[in-house]
Amino acid sequence: MRDPVTKLPLDDGGLLVGDYDTFWLRRLRDGDVSKLTPAQQEQSRKDAEDRAKADEQRAQEQLAAAQKAEKNAEGAA
């Protein structure tokens, strides 16, 4: 889902919008978005941060493995 103003994708933490915003009311009615309580929003934000940290760690591990493989290939040549 994209922010209708900025056209950028929304992050997993969501977006605070007014209760009477017709754009978001239509998306809510259609099931494209969901309304979260403050506690659910906080949990969603924490989950998104955890996923981002895991993705970053995975990317670092893949980079280290690629650099090691490249170094090994240079040594074998």
Residue 76 in this model has a pLDDT that exceeds 80: no
Alpha-carbon distance 74 to 3, whole Å?
47
Look-up of token digits 């993705």: 55
Average predicted confidence (pLDDT) for the chain: 88
| Positions of E strands within the chain | none
Beta bridge partners of 9: 2
Name the pLDDT band for 77 (thresholds 50, 70, 90). low
pTM value > 0.75: no
Which pLDDT belongs to residue 39?
Answer: 87
